[in-house]
Structure formats: C-alpha cells, structure tokens
C-alpha cells in the first residue's frame, strides 16, 4: 500500500516470482512421480485423461494407417501369391499335428478322468491387434486394440503364434498396454525343456532376454528351449518363450551370463491372443489349520510390469 | 542497422494471440501422438514449441501450461506421471529466463542456444526414469534434440506467420 492510498496499477501484478512458481510446480511433479512410481495411486486419474485423449490418439493413428494402406496397395501380387503358397504348405504341415492334437487331447481328458485329477482349465482367449509401440522409449510396451470394454483385465498373458509375447499391464476402456517380455522389469518363470530346470527369465536391452542368477555351472547350453513353467499362476505351462543364444561362464562371477532370444515376434506388429486369466494356484491348506480359523479366499498374485 | 532484436527482418510484428499459442501447442501434441514406431531422432514437438513460446513470450506462457501439457504427454505416452511435467517446467523456466539473451542472436545462434536446453530436458527425463528403475534407452535417444534444434529455423517462420503484417511502402512513416 502506497502512502497516498493507491493500489499499484494492475499491469505490474504478475503473481508470485518465477522461481517460487517453479519450485511449487517442481515439488508437485516430484510428488506425482513418487505417487506413481512407488504407490501407483494415479491409475484412476490416468484412465480419465486417457479416455479424453482417446479420440485424439485414434486420429493421430490415421497418417500411419494411410501410409500402411498405401504400402499394402503397392506390395506386388507376386509377394502375396508367394505368401499364399507358403501358408498353404505350413497349413498342410501343421494339419497332421492338429489332427493328432485333437486325438491326444481327448485321450488326455480320458486319462485325467481316469486318474480323477482336476481337469486343466479351459483357456479363453481374445484376439487383438497390436496398434503401435508405446511412445515411451524407456520401456518396451505395445498398445493393443482391446480394453476393459472387451473384458480385458491387467495381468492377462499375451501370446502370438510362436510363443509368449508379454503381459497386459494397464487397461484403458478401449485399449490396453502390453509389456513385452523384453522389458527390463518383466519377468517370466520358465523351465528348460531339455532337463526341466526351473528359473526366471528377465528382459534385457536391445530386444533380448536374460537368465539371471543361474549358477555358473548350471546345466544349460546354447539352443535350449525355454517354456513357461506355469508356477506363477499367470502363464499357462508349456508355452514357448525363448531360445538360449549363448552362455558366458566366467569364473570371476558367481552367475553365468545367459542371453536368450524371444520365440515370439516381439518386435513385430500383428495379431495377438490375450489369454484369459488363470485362477490363482490355491495353496494347500492343512486340514487342522482350516478347522481352526475361517479360510479367506486367496487373492490372485499378480506382477506389475 | 538492426534495431529490432526479435528477428532479422525489419518488420514489426503484430502482438501474438493467446489462442494461437494454445493452438500451436495442441498441434505439437498431436504430432507427438503419431505412432512412429522405432524411428529415432524425431524431435519432441511439444518441448520445441514450449521452448519457442517461452523464448518469444515468457509472460504469456506460464509454467502452469507447461505442467498441464506435460501431464497430458505422460498419459498419452504411457510413461510415469510427473516425468514430462518436470522436464517441461525446467525447460520453460530456463527458456523464459534466457529469452532476453537468445532473441538478440540470429536464428542459427538461437538454435545453438536451444540445443542444450532440449538436451537438458531429455536428460531430466532419462535421470527420472533410470532412478525409477527403467532401462537406459541408448544414446540415439538424444538425437531428437539435435533434430529439434534443426527445426528451430522453419518453426520460427511458421509460428510467427500470423504476426507478420503486410509490408507497405510508406516513405513518410518514421519506422
């Protein structure tokens, strides 16, 4: 307030000093970072904003769509015919396996009934198209065109025709985000086909996979097939995941460095199957324990990507 | 002699309109949304346009705008909430603080000023994510800043287009 009782003219008012504003907003974004990274509290807000942005995102996809259509138009007839011949050959080749599979499945069912075992869960699946890779360069994720409106929930496994592709980690109403197996924070419990060795497969950089924490003398060799072990309750057992590329055994380190190559076309775009959620593996409850206290339903254990 | 510090041309610019600033930010956001797949070296359009308006009109473009646009980028790109706002805020603050200096230079040297700002923006994002446990995306990630600095020249002309007024030869006018 000045001496003569006049307010300063309004064009000198600029609010708080820039540094104060900067400090305020920086603290706000740091709080957001911690809330999201550590506690994952912001999923609801993210869903809301994502829903509003969805039309814009679809619109932004049109240039790419047009480009692809143009490319498809100019792809020659010969290439398509060649592909057709190849597909026919493959179909014939796989036909004998398919026929045999039906027979085997029936036999398996009969045997299981005979043994009075719990039948394997029937697998439900949803076909989805990979729209594009997520823009975030720090993780390996793709966006598929099925979301919570189509019954997708976070945690479902995603496979393509060759093997495991990844896991649904975030679901929007009409899209969902799939973290690929090559992401650094994505782990898949696997089993070596040759000897049944169980371990966990992690993503590594440049689109490869890595078996960490296996002893330097572990029985594993280049060319070994890795399939899901099914112990996690997420992936069905026996889905191919990767092939061991090379094994570096260095006496200086406790663990061998084992680099694997994904079986699925992880970096390619196309159609994928989103498998239905498995029921969580129920832990065996001891009968005495069960009598003592009421059994609470176990929640399904899920890993976040 | 070049008295007008804003541009090498001697034209006097019309005042900027607020809606055009927001419109250009929206267009940049849309450009960022286009899924380019594995193509590297494309600039972050939003960062570039934010830097442009922070240099040109530091009083018109607040840090609140940078924050909100950053949040939208976070959701659209599926990254961690707070990563883009933090980087854009620092960019907007630094560009606004340097604007008096930058505008004295011709466009090529302006671009040389912008390059470290864009690099610092990307560095903030890398540090945020790597501390958060993500993978380092490789050095090619930083190519986006260099291409962004290259785009400074065409961007200046495009974004200043609505502010140009027709050149009229008036011998009696003093300026």
Same domain, A112 and A137: no
When pLDDT is cut at 50, 70 and 90, the band that residue A298 belongs to is very low
Q: Does residue A279 contact residue A121 with C-beta atoms inside 8 Å?
A: yes
Nearest CA-CA partner of B52 in B18, B81, B24: B24
Same domain, A143 and A107: no
Cα torsion at B118, B120, B122, B124 (round to 10°)? Answer: -150
DSSP string over A47-69:
HHHHHHHHHHHHHHHHHHHHHHH
d(CA A216, CA A250): 7
Buried b (16+ CB within 10 A) or exposed e, A85-104: eeeeeeeeeeeeeeeeeeee
Domain ends where: A117, A134, A168? A117
A139 contact residues in B (CB cutoff 8 A): 78-79, 134-135
In this predicted structure, the answer to whether residue A109 has a pLDDT above a threshold of 70 is: yes
Nearest CA-CA partner of A156 in A143, A165, A147, A169: A169
**pLDDT for the residue A297:** 47
Instruction: List pLDDT tens digits, range B34-89.
Output: 887 667 788 999 999 999 999 998 888 878 999 999 999 999 888 889 999 999 99
Instruction: List pLDDT tens digits, range A242-264.
Output: 999 989 888 788 888 899 999 88
Q: For all residues of chain A together, what is the average pLDDT?
A: 81
Please indicate, yes or no, if residue B102 is contained in any of the structural domains.
Answer: yes
Mean pLDDT over A4-32 rounds to 81
Please indicate, yes or no, if residue B118 is contained in any of the structural domains.
Answer: yes
When pLDDT is cut at 50, 70 and 90, the band that residue A276 belongs to is confident
In this predicted structure, the answer to whether residue A54 has a pLDDT above a threshold of 70 is: yes
Q: Does residue B88 contact residue B59 with C-beta atoms inside 8 Å?
A: no
Please indicate, yes or no, if residue B175 is contained in any of the structural domains.
Answer: no
Are A22 and B89 in contact (CB < 8 Å)?
A: yes
| Number of structural domains in chain B | 1
Same domain, A144 and A240: yes
When pLDDT is cut at 50, 70 and 90, the band that residue A76 belongs to is confident
When pLDDT is cut at 50, 70 and 90, the band that residue B128 belongs to is very high
Are B78 and A170 in contact (CB < 8 Å)?
A: yes
Q: B29, B47, B75: best mutation site toward chain A, by most A Cβ within 10 Å?
A: B75
Please indicate, yes or no, if residue A154 is contained in any of the structural domains.
Answer: yes
Choice between A144 and A292, residue whose per-residue pLDDT is larger: A144
Are A18 and B93 in contact (CB < 8 Å)?
A: yes
Q: Does residue A112 contact residue A119 with C-beta atoms inside 8 Å?
A: yes
Going by C-beta distance under 8 Å and a sequence separation of 6 or more, which residues neighbour residue A235? Answer: A157, A164, A188, A189, A228, A278
Instruction: List pLDDT tens digits, range B15-33.
Output: 888 999 999 999 999 999 8
When pLDDT is cut at 50, 70 and 90, the band that residue A11 belongs to is low
Same domain, A38 and A98: no
Same domain, A200 and A149: yes
d(CA B45, CA B65): 15
Chain A CA closest to residue B90: A22
**pLDDT for the residue A70:** 84
Range from B32-36, B106-110, B169-173 that averages highest in pLDDT: B106-110
Please indicate, yes or no, if residue A294 is contained in any of the structural domains.
Answer: no
**Among A114-123, A133-142, A165-174, A259-268, the least confident range:** A114-123
**pLDDT for the residue A303:** 46
Q: Provide the domain limits for residue A86.
A: 76-117
A57 contact residues in B (CB cutoff 8 A): 33, 76
**pLDDT for the residue A96:** 79
Same domain, A159 and A254: yes
Quick check: helix, strand or coil at residue A167? Answer: strand
Domain ends where: A67, A94, A117? A117
In this predicted structure, the answer to whether residue A272 has a pLDDT above a threshold of 60 is: yes
Mean pLDDT over B138-144 rounds to 89
When pLDDT is cut at 50, 70 and 90, the band that residue B166 belongs to is low
Nearest CA-CA partner of A188 in A142, A145, A151, A239: A239
Please indicate, yes or no, if residue A64 is contained in any of the structural domains.
Answer: no
**pLDDT for the residue B168:** 65
Nearest CA-CA partner of B20 in B47, B49, B42: B49
Please indicate, yes or no, if residue A1 is contained in any of the structural domains.
Answer: no
Please indicate, yes or no, if residue A156 is contained in any of the structural domains.
Answer: yes
Same domain, A207 and A102: no
CB-closest option in A26, A133, A177 to B38: A133
When pLDDT is cut at 50, 70 and 90, the band that residue A114 belongs to is low
In this predicted structure, the answer to whether residue A115 has a pLDDT above a threshold of 80 is: no
Mean pLDDT over A225-246 rounds to 88
Q: Is the pTM of the predicted complex or chain greater than 0.80?
A: no
Residue labelled with tokens 């663990």? A255
DSSP at A180:
E
A184: CATH:
2.40.10.340
Please indicate, yes or no, if residue B2 is contained in any of the structural domains.
Answer: no
B25 contact residues in A (CB cutoff 8 A): none
Choice between A255 and B169, residue whose per-residue pLDDT is larger: A255
Q: How many CB pairs under 8 A join A and B?
A: 125
Please indicate, yes or no, if residue B4 is contained in any of the structural domains.
Answer: no
**pLDDT for the residue B167:** 64
Same domain, A148 and A228: yes
C-alpha B126 chain-centroid distance: 19
B81 contact residues in A (CB cutoff 8 A): 32-33, 35-36, 42, 45-46
Nearest CA-CA partner of A190 in A222, A147, A123, A235: A235
Please indicate, yes or no, if residue A273 is contained in any of the structural domains.
Answer: yes
| Number of structural domains in chain A | 3
**pLDDT for the residue B44:** 92
Mean pLDDT over A28-44 rounds to 88
When pLDDT is cut at 50, 70 and 90, the band that residue B11 belongs to is low
Please indicate, yes or no, if residue B56 is contained in any of the structural domains.
Answer: yes
**Among A70-74, A192-196, A252-256, B60-64, the least confident range:** A70-74
Are B70 and A29 in contact (CB < 8 Å)?
A: yes
When pLDDT is cut at 50, 70 and 90, the band that residue A108 belongs to is confident
Please indicate, yes or no, if residue B105 is contained in any of the structural domains.
Answer: yes
Q: For all residues of chain B together, what is the average pLDDT?
A: 86
**pLDDT for the residue B40:** 76
Same domain, A155 and A27: no
**pLDDT for the residue A122:** 59
Q: Provide the domain limits for residue B60.
A: 18-31+43-161
Same domain, A158 and A214: yes
**pLDDT for the residue A264:** 83
C-alpha A201 chain-centroid distance: 13
CB-closest option in B29, B33, B133 to A185: B133
Please indicate, yes or no, if residue A67 is contained in any of the structural domains.
Answer: no
Are B59 and A14 in contact (CB < 8 Å)?
A: yes
Same domain, A231 and A140: yes
Mean pLDDT over A74-97 rounds to 84
**pLDDT for the residue B92:** 94
Same domain, A210 and A87: no
Please indicate, yes or no, if residue A295 is contained in any of the structural domains.
Answer: no
Please indicate, yes or no, if residue B167 is contained in any of the structural domains.
Answer: no
């Amino acid at each position: 307030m000045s001496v003569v009782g006049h307010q300063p003219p309004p064009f000198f008012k600029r609010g708080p000093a820039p540094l104060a504003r900067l400090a305020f907003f920086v603290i706000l974004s740091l709080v957001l970072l911690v809330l999201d990274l550590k506690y994952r509290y912001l999923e609801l807000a993210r869903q809301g904003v994502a829903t509003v942005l969805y039309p814009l995102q679809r619109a932004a996809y049109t240039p790419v769509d047009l480009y692809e259509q143009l490319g498809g138009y100019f792809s020659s007839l010969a290439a398509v015919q060649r592909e057709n011949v190849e597909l026919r050959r493959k179909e014939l080749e796989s036909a004998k396996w398919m026929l045999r599979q039906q027979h085997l499945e029936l036999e398996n069912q009969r045997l299981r009934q005979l043994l009075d075992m719990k039948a394997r869960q029937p697998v439900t699946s949803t076909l989805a198209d990979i729209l594009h890779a997520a823009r975030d360069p720090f993780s390996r994720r793709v966006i598929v065109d099925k979301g919570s409106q189509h019954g997708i929930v976070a945690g479902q496994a995603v496979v393509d025709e060759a093997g495991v592709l990844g896991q649904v980690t975030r679901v929007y109403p009409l899209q969902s985000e799939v973290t690929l197996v090559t992401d650094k924070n994505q782990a898949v419990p696997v089993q070596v086909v040759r000897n049944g060795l169980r371990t966990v497969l992690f993503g590594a950089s440049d689109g490869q996979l890595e078996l960490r924490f296996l002893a330097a003398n572990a029985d594993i060799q280049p060319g070994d097939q890795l399939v899901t072990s099914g112990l996690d309750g997420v992936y069905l057992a026996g889905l191919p995941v990767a092939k061991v590329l090379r094994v570096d055994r260095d006496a200086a380190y406790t663990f061998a460095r084992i680099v694997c190559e994904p079986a699925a076309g992880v970096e390619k775009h196309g159609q994928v199957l989103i498998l239905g959620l498995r029921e969580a593996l129920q832990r065996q409850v001891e009968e005495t324990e069960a009598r003592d206290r009421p059994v609470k339903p176990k929640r399904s254990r899920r890993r976040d990507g | 002699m070049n008295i007008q510090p804003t541009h090498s041309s001697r034209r006097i610019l019309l005042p900027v309109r607020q809606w055009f600033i927001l419109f250009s930010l929206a267009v940049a956001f849309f450009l960022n949304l286009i899924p380019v797949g594995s193509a590297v070296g494309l600039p972050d359009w939003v960062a570039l346009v934010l830097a442009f308006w922070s240099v040109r009109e530091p009083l018109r473009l607040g840090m609140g705008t940078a924050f909100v646009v950053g949040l939208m980028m976070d959701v659209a790109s599926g990254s961690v909430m707070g990563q883009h706002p933090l980087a854009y805020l620092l960019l907007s603050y630094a560009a606004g603080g340097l604007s008096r200096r930058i505008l004295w230079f011709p466009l090529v040297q302006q671009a040389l000023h912008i390059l470290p700002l864009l690099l610092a923006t990307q560095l903030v994002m890398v540090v945020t994510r790597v501390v958060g446990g993500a993978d380092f995306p490789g050095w090619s990630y930083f190519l986006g800043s260099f291409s962004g600095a290259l785009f400074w020249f065409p961007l200046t002309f495009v974004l200043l287009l609505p502010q140009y007024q027709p050149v009229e030869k008036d011998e009696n006018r003093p300026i």
